[in-house]
Structure 1
Amino acid sequence: MAINLQKGQRISLEKTNGTKLQQVCIGINWGAIEKKGLFGFGSSKVAVDLDASCAVYNESKQLMEVVYFGNLASKDGSIKHSGDDRTGDTGGDDGLDNEVITVDLSRLPATASYVAFVLNSFQGQDFASIPFASIRIYEGTATRVNEVFATYDIAHGAGFAGHVSMVMGVFYKKNGDWKFNAIGEPTKDRKLEQTVQTVMQNYL
């Protein structure tokens, strides 16, 4: 399945050896904003709090559960959040994800039909003001990346400037099999609750 998706592409989650993908993760890596001192002398780092969240919907597109910084695991343990990072990398890009959400597709409730990943800038900092911010959706665990199948650069990607929320992608069940839709679209929302509603209205 070695594939790097562009936004708007849909894929089956069947791997090259014919087995079904079970463990999927979304990882976010971003940097703190460098603020120049008066008259250009010195600089300081301004913390950036990006929040990755995961919303689960049933076949009728009704919200079942949200896993986010205030609820780090789904009731059945099939979805886990690594915890809230409120600063971003302050010493330059370390290449590591600041937040990771892991989903075990095989353990999701039978009633779950959609699993959406969204991103919000908690303090309302514009995506374009962040020095680097990348998203990767991959097979693996919070500590091991097996195969990346979608990446987004939201700090430099055209269209993300002026926005503080986005829909990263949606896993959806079709004929019993999970597939993935790489969305990568900014939204006009300011808060997670609004983004979850936008997903329900426009992206399922």
Structure 2
Amino acid sequence: MAINLEKGQRINLAKSDGAKLQNICVGINWGAIQKKGMFGFGSTTEAVDLDGSCALFSEDKRLEEVVYFGNLKSKNNSVRHSGDDLTGDIGGDDGLDNEVITVELSNLPATTTYVAFVLNSFRGQDFASIPFASIRIYEGTPKRVNEVFAKYDIANSANFAGHVSMVLGVFYKKNGEWKFNALGEPTRDRKLEETVRTVAANFL
């Protein structure tokens, strides 16, 4: 059964049968903005470009690398990005993730201790205006969901109004085991580089 994550909640990466999870996906789903025309006639569709990114840090909080739309895989291929979605779902939620970042925890570099996920609104549309934006963490591949074990809703909270960047959460290694800290923290950053610096300074 999936866990609905709350801000600040920490979870062990265990499947329902108790086995430790090694291969995970972080999927982000959102919709284009539908706007009514003047005097209520017709409507227009405004594309939304959300960018999910993954930053790897060492135990001493040194940035090792960032996987994002401009760098779709880590050096050893343990982290992979599905590619940039420039519009969001048009015509309603199709139930599929628009961007997926895949992480093979067992193949991460031995020096990697933190794996942080952030979300940025490339065109500067604040999160409160973007339909059904959400994150889910599951076992499987971008095309096959075996088991969803965590969900996080980022669209239905007033806390995100006026923000265009946020920290979704951080995977961290403790005593040789991986755990997840659900953050859901909006930041005042405008760009990915700024958000990554904010993660290092405040959330590791």
Structure 1 length normalisation: TM-score? 0.95
Alpha-carbon separation, structure 1, partners of 2:12 and 2:135: 20
Distance in 2 separating the partners of 1:2 and 1:183 = 17
Q: Structure 2: how far apart are the matches of 1:154 and 1:180?
A: 17
Corresponding residue for 1:195?
195
Give yes or no for contact 1:4–1:148 (8 Å, CA) kept in 2.
no
Where 1:145 maps in the other structure, the secondary structure is strand
Secondary structure of the residue aligned to 1:8 is coil
Structure 1 residue 147: Cα displacement: 2.5
C-alpha distance in 2 between matches for 1:19 and 1:90: 38
Question: What corresponds to 1:86 in structure 2?
Answer: 86
Matches within 5 A, 1:114-153: 114-153=114-153
Q: Which amino acid aligns with 1:178?
A: W
> What amino acid is aligned across from residue 166 of structure 2 in structure 1?
M
Q: Which deviations, in whole Å up to 9, do the C-alpha atoms of 1:80-130 show, x marking residues without a partner?
A: 000000000112110100000000000000000000010000010011111
Report what 1:103 is aligned to: 103
Residues 131 and 11 (structure 1), Cα distance of their counterparts in 2 relative to 1, 3 Å cut? closer
The alpha carbon displacement at 1:2 in A equals: 4.8
Unaligned runs of 5+ in 2: none
Of residues 191-200 and 145-154 in structure 1, the stretch that sits farther from structure 2 once superposed is 145-154
Counterpart of 2:145, as a letter, is: V
Structural mapping, 1:24-43, within 5 Å: 24-43=24-43
Deviates more, 1:32-41 or 1:16-25: 16-25
Aligned partners of 2:4 and 2:37: how far apart in 1? 40
Q: Helix, strand or coil: the match of 1:124?
A: coil
Identity %: 76
Residues 83-92 or 131-140, more deviating: 131-140
Letter in 1 for 2:97: D
| Aligned counterparts, 1:4-83, within 5 A | 4-83=4-83
**C-alpha RMSD of matched pairs (Å):** 1.3
Distance 1:189 1:26 in 2: 22
Q: CA deviation at 1:156?
A: 1.6
Rounded to whole Å, the distance in 2 between the matches of 1:2 and 1:93 is 20
TM-score relative to the length of structure 2 = 0.95
Q: Show structure 1 runs of 5+ residues with no match.
A: none
2:128–2:158 Cα contact (<8 Å) kept: no
